[in-house]
Amino acid sequence: MALIMPLTAHAKSYEVDYDQSSITFAATHAGDPFDGVFDEWSADIQFDADNLESSNVTVTFNTASAKTGNAMYDGTLPTNDWFDVKNHPEATFQSTSFTQNESDYSVTGDLTIKDITNPITFDFTLENDNPTTMTAVFPIDRLAYKIGERSDPKAEWVSQNVDIEIKLIAN
């Protein structure tokens, strides 16, 4: 019976070292660069480079944990116009597929912020030196998620694209 049943391969489960990992963001305000970090997030990672079809990643961000170190920005981010943390305490990324490129990988998935879901694809690199290090840098369009839409609908003050940088250390 075991010979006729299909074999299902499972991706490896990774445990993130949150003390060594980070998810940061960078943009400009009035032409001046600023950056910030999400202090609270979690990731469920099932990944196998030899079996990308069985790989899956879910990342959940606590939107209230976004910090820049600038009192004005940190006071603005939780408001209704920006992250609206009272009504939308979490943002999520859910992968839908992975592909291998010449020297790295791409992941496609759904990014949901403020109950608005958009597909996103970005490249990432892996270094498998135990622990595994995953790095990625990619832009998101803040207006596609209605972030700062009322106060800056034409991105005259805050850049429309916000760069996200991910560094994950996992075992």
pLDDT in tens, 16-32: 999 999 999 999 999 99
Examine the pLDDT at 11 and tell me if it is beyond 90. no
Q: How far, in Å, CA of 26 to CA of 155, rounded?
A: 15
Q: How confident is the model at residue 1 (pLDDT cuts 50, 70, 90)?
A: very low
* pLDDT of res. 70: 97
Residue 88 identity (one-letter amino acid)? H
In whole angstroms, give the CA distance from residue 41 to residue 2. Answer: 41
Q: How far apart are CA 41 and CA 25, in angstroms?
A: 14
Output the furthest CA–CA distance in the chain (Å, rounded).
Answer: 67
Q: Per 3-state DSSP, what percentage of the chain is helix, strand, and coil (rounded to 5)?
A: 10, 50, 40
55: phi then psi, degrees, rounded to nearest 5: -80, 150
Find the helix or strand (DSSP H, E) in which 73 lies. helix 71-76
Residue 71 has pLDDT above 90, yes or no: yes
Structural domains of the chain, with CATH = 12-170 (2.40.128.110)
Element counts in the chain: helices (H) and strands (E): 1, 11
Per-residue pLDDT, 62 = 98
pLDDT at 5 over 50: no
Distance CA 159, CA 170 (A): 32
Checking if the pLDDT of 45 tops 80, the result is yes
Global pTM? Answer: 0.90
Q: Is the pLDDT of residue 103 over 90?
A: no
